[in-house]
Amino acid sequence: MVLPARRGDEAETIIERIVPGGFGLGYGGGRTLFVSRAAPGDRLRVRIDRERGRVAHASIVEILEPGPDRVAEEYPLLSRCGADFQHLRYDAQLAAKSGIIADSLRRIGGITLPEPVAMTASPLVWGYRTRAEWRHDPVQPALGYLETGSQRVIDLPHDPFVVPALAVRFGELRERLMAGRLPESAIELRAAAGDDGVSSSPPMELPQPLPVHATVAGERYEFDADCFFQVNAGVLDALIDEALRFAPEAGAPPAATSRMAIDLYCGIGLFTVPLTRRFAQVIGVDSQPRAAEFAARNIATAGLDHARIQTAPVERWLDGAYRSHGRTPFVLLDPPRTGLPAHASRMLPRLRAARITYISCDPSTLARDLKGLLASGYVLVSVAAFDMFPQTHHVEIVAHLERTES
């Protein structure tokens, strides 16, 4: 009997498809293999990195025969710190992400989609990020991103992910690093580009980050580098259009079915502002005081006065919301990558929202949370996806749910 390959052993495999996590799925050495930076159709010699039961994670030792979707990596250093799809043709990246979503929904959520998830492509595949979180290691010294699966900073000469304004800011930070003028305490360096400049955190010579402004889908938003804001302006208008697809038309007279909307994890009000143009009353909830402050300011800038921003953890706010507000026509939520906390997942159905729109950047946690909502009386109406993060396996998803009468 041949024993399965162990850690450090090598095996040959042919990659069948890309699966959640961005890994290539293959079989070899008596194991199911998940291979980093693989492409469908690749014939590879791989090394086992870690094993569990009949499953192992592996890395490429040699590409014996490349698959038809494989291309040369433009920035090999970035493959070690996030750009784990840059070896794939762009259309293959989109197809892989659509497959990852379907795989996650089926395997975790028990949801079988009738057709592949439609992907909205990004107009830019490099130089698209309007927000960055760089890491500084004063010991190496180094400035860049963390290596995948470690705390080591990959030192980058420049950052091809970001828009030109942030590329300039990265260059300025590198100059400080080389001159020994980057403070040792500045370990996480955040920057956000707006229409009128760049906000940085820590702000170096300033007491706090300066705010910037961006116009998205006709609305003006103010924010700074310490606030979450979607990173790819090229697909943001389309994302907002999809998120509001089942909301009333802006400016329509409020009907009984459009009297109230709740925006959970509202951040700076990216969705709260357009929701307020469509509903008679809107409540936005976010745990970060700075983001909530910007949300209130952005609503006021839009000339709207029928939205309230609540600063609280969503799970705590939901505890009392169903008693205070009763049945809610529309709920939109855009939680962090970890998805809904267990308590929030239990409380959300108690709002008895007629419709729920769930925006997610992680197919696995989305599938987990959708499974709970479907068990609580909802049906999945549609799923759409947006390539917010080209060259990576990450993807932005919008799922629409409707409550059944029963």
Q: Where are the domains of the chain?
A: 10-70, 71-127+232-406, 131-215
pLDDT tens, residue by residue, 87-122? 999 999 999 999 999 999 999 999 999 999 999 999
Mean pLDDT in residue range 137-154: 95
* Res. 398: pLDDT tops 80: yes
Q: What would the two tokens of residue 332 be? A: 């939109």
Q: Containing H/E element for 330?
A: strand 330-333
What is the residue type of 266?
A: C
C-beta separation of 12 from 33 below 8 A: no
d(CA 259, CA 88): 46
Number of helices and strands (H, E) in the chain? 8, 21
Fold classification of 71-127+232-406 (topology level): Rossmann fold (3.40.50)
Q: How confident is the model at residue 206 (pLDDT cuts 50, 70, 90)?
A: low
Closest to 252 (Cα-Cα) out of 267, 274, 234: 274
pLDDT score, position 254: 52
Domain 10-70: give its CATH superfamily: Nucleic acid-binding proteins (2.40.50.140)
* Res. 6: pLDDT tops 90: no
Q: What would the two tokens of residue 136 be? A: 């500084």
Q: What would the two tokens of residue 260 be? A: 């109230």
Q: What is the dihedral of CA 321, 324, 325, 327, to 10 degrees?
A: 80
Q: How confident is the model at residue 209 (pLDDT cuts 50, 70, 90)?
A: confident
Neighbours of 205 (CB within 10 A): 5
DSSP 169-202: HHHHHHHHHHTT-S-TT--EEEEEEETTEEEEES
pLDDT score, position 259: 86
* Res. 1: pLDDT tops 50: no
d(CA 310, CA 264): 10
d(CA 62, CA 64): 6
C-beta separation of 74 from 80 below 8 A: no
Closest to 155 (Cα-Cα) out of 175, 172, 135: 135
d(CA 80, CA 395): 19
Sequence-distant (6+) residues with CB within 8 A of 79 are: 37, 73, 86, 87
> What share of the chain in percent tops pLDDT 70?
94
d(CA 215, CA 218): 6
